[in-house]
């Protein structure tokens, strides 16, 4: 499957908000509960840019998106949603990997994830570690798994050529 990841556009705010709600519905939540999530899942045009939104496209159609928020050293993987029709096909993995690269580029050392309870196995499969629980911002009393993923900084470029200060090659320089 040829998934293209690209920056989200401000004019896609409504499309992405709808996508998030539809994706959340994949877990079988009631209409009432989905309605409680609606405000938290809504993106404004300025959010799309401010949250470093990246979208996944499949054959020209947006099938998912991810956001990376915050400032170094700790960022939030705030939203990661795949359309129900595409779930289970690797789109989430591509978006997650992209988010990690975005976080690395922004100098983050870790990403925090307030996970939907149903999505915890996915994040664990991505290497995230459960560090606790947090209360949902949408539904009072609803506990959400809190996970973290460490971001390894970009390593210093390896030096090429022989180490400095040492003669190599066995040449006889004595005489």
Ligand X SMILES: CC(C)(COP(=O)(O)OP(=O)(O)OC[C@H]1O[C@@H](n2cnc3c(N)ncnc32)[C@H](O)[C@@H]1OP(=O)(O)O)[C@@H](O)C(=O)NCCC(=O)NCCS
Footprint on this chain of ligand X (rule: CB under 6 A): 23-24, 26, 80-82, 87-93, 115-116, 118-119, 121-122, 125
Choose between 107 and 127: whose C-beta lies nearer to ligand X: 127
Cβ proximity to ligand X, 30 vs 174, nearer residue: 30
Tell me the CA distances in angstroms from 148 to 9, 49, 133, 171, one per residue in order.
27, 23, 11, 53
Instruction: Tell the smallest beta-carbon distance from residue 34 to ligand X (Å).
Output: 11
C-beta closer to ligand X: residue 10 or 26: 26
Minimum separation from the CB atom of position 65 to ligand X (A): 10
* Secondary structure of 47-116 in HEC code, one letter for each residue: HHHHCCCEEEEECCEEEEEEEEEEECCEEEEEEEEECHHHCCCCHHHHHHHHHHHHHHHCCCCEEEEECC
If you search the block for the tokens 């877990």, which residue do you land on? Answer: 27
Residue whose CB is nearest to ligand X in the complex, by number: 92
As measured in angstroms, the least distance from the Cβ of 90 to ligand X is 4
Question: Of 4 and 173, which CB lies nearer to ligand X in the complex structure?
Answer: 4
Six-digit token string for 8: 């989200």
Count CA atoms within 13 Å of residue 39 on its CB side.
6
Nearest C-alpha neighbor of 115 from the set 101, 96, 133, 88 = 133
Report, in Å, the least distance between residue 40 CB and ligand X. Answer: 11
Report in angstroms how near the CB of residue 122 gets to ligand X at its nearest.
4
């Amino acid at each position: 499957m040829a998934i293209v990841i690209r920056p989200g556009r401000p004019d896609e705010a409504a499309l992405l908000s709808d996508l998030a709600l539809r994706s959340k519905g994949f877990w079988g939540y009631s209409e009432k509960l989905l309605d409680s999530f609606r405000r938290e899942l809504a993106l404004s045009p300025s959010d799309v840019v401010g949250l470093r939104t990246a979208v996944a496209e499949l054959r020209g159609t947006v099938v998912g998106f991810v956001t990376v928020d915050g400032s170094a050293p700790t960022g939030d993987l705030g939203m990661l949603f795949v359309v129900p029709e595409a779930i289970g096909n690797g789109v989430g993995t591509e978006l997650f990997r992209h988010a990690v690269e975005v976080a690395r580029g922004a100098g983050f050392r870790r990403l925090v994830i307030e996970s939907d309870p149903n999505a915890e196995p996915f994040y664990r499969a991505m290497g995230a570690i459960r560090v606790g629980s947090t209360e949902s911002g949408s539904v009072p009393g609803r506990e959400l798994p809190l996970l973290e993923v460490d971001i390894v900084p970009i390593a210093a470029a390896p030096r090429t050529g022989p180490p400095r200060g040492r003669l190599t090659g066995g040449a006889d320089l004595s005489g």
